[in-house]
Structure 1
Amino acid sequence: MLLLFALLPALLLGLALSAWYGRTDARHAAAMLRSMADGSELALRGYLARHRDAVATIAAMPTLRAQFDASTLQPRLRLLRQMHPGMLTTFGAAPDGQLLIAEPARDAAGRADHWRGVNLADRDYFRAALRNRAASISGMLHSHGHAQGMLIGIAAPVFDARGKLLGVVGAVLDADKLQADLDHLAGPRDALALLDPQGRIVAASAALNVRRGAAAHDNRTLRHALALPLGHVADVDPSPWWEQRGLRETLPQGWQVLALGPRQFFAHALLLALGLLALLLLAMALTLRLLIRGTTRRLLTPVH
């Protein structure tokens, strides 16, 4: 009986602490993940919108709408690139995609007029600009021009006063700025991944160990995070060893952000284990008490 009264408070305390800690951990994790996702959206909106609006402004200049050729494009594209360091390359192309001019004039190897003979008709951002008749942003693209690697493209159509298409102006953006923003937003135990509309990784925390431009589905953790319902914090890859919570949010133009954070599994599990241990000991004490009582009764029962 004394053992029973000793174990009952431990049982109740362990279960109560476990339940309280689980709810507190869930609320804290949800708040942190939402904060990271919101910060990622602000960074993306600011970076892409700023450069998209700059390209759209160049496309609407009366000078280009009156005379769309290399001589009028070059100084304006050079100025655009100087004002926006995130633009690795700026360009002007004919309606059929043939490049007319690009800045800088020399590529990474020092070759002049490296852009001659290049056609952009098959590029997503070029096609989107013509299709939408407005400034458009692509997902990740592999550039072989002056700027090498996985980059982001922006393009805007240029029309004359009668609405005839004269050509397209645009820029290729460096994704390093978005990577730096994500590194700043994610804590040492958290992770963020920014995906383009095609599900490719634009930027991601080093903890995920993924390559820029790779498909998010190729990574096990991101694949499970992509299966989460939009806007809801939930366990990633639910199993008996839940250790990570995730949040998936959609961003403008079909982009997505995945926020991941650790679940305080071990502390929670420890408290739960204490409660279960107390329950087990309580069951053993009750069983032992019943056995002793039964044995005592049989021994004290008179034999007839």
Structure 2
Amino acid sequence: MTTATLVAHRASEEYDENERLRRRATARRRWGLGFSYLALILVTILMVFPLLVILLVSFTPNAVTQTWPPKFIPSAFTLENYQSLFQRLPVGREMLNTIVFAGCVTIFSVFFDALAAYGLSRVDFKGRGILLGVLIATMMIPAMALLIPIYKLLANMGLVNSYLGIIIPRLADVGGIFLLRQFFISIPKDLDNAARIDGAGEFRIFLQIILPNSVPAILTVGMFNFMGNWNDLLWPLIMTSKPETRTITAGLAMLTGHGSSVTPYGVVMAGALISALPLIIVFFFVQKRFVEGIAMTGMK
């Protein structure tokens, strides 16, 4: 065998080996993508399934919801549950109360959290680390342990059954402060220094430099606040006993307390669906920024 033939033979063997490795890598990549898509499909089904059950049960006659085994696809659909819901509860008023409660808490909490985060991340002062440590330590206190003291304080101030009573204790959140602080740290301080050279004060730097560059993080904190307060049951249930100030979640809890031993699951699911629709709509419009804020927060 000549040298040229030997070289050609070796080159052919190397080509065959590289081609075999390439096909194996392609197969592994395809299998990996297949498993990834399968996992995503399963997770999506798990996430959508409860909403689908709520939707179906809300249109199912209440007598059918009491049968066993349960029927996920009823043979008949009805609007009686929605009619009964609006007869039993002032849904419009309670939805308005929930919007006022969750909306005001979100707006003021995001603003105050951002102010505190700005001071803890951009302003150098003595004891800043100690103050941050104390704030984080307060997150270890169970919220249940604070309910009675806060309620007694607000009751002595005459704020029970009022918007101020349910809004004031939620005007700041340590979790939001910490999350925004981590995001503010990633913003170059050269922007602050350049603004100070131009004569800008701290509040102007906060409004015109920090906030515009922190929209994803602010939307993320706002979304967490809005969802958490919209779905909150215990605090509005404690602080409100009148329909004029009761939120939709507290109102739905009242449906099981009318002296009947049978829970009207269809009515409850109808109320839950109506309650969830605003959250779904809000998330649909801010989902891109929401995911971006989650991904970018704490990168540094």
Q: Larger % of strand: which?
A: 1
TM-score of the alignment, normalized to the shorter chain, above 0.5 = no
More helix by share: 2
Structure with max Cα Rg:
1
Q: Greater RCO between the two (CA within 8 Å, min separation 6)?
A: 2
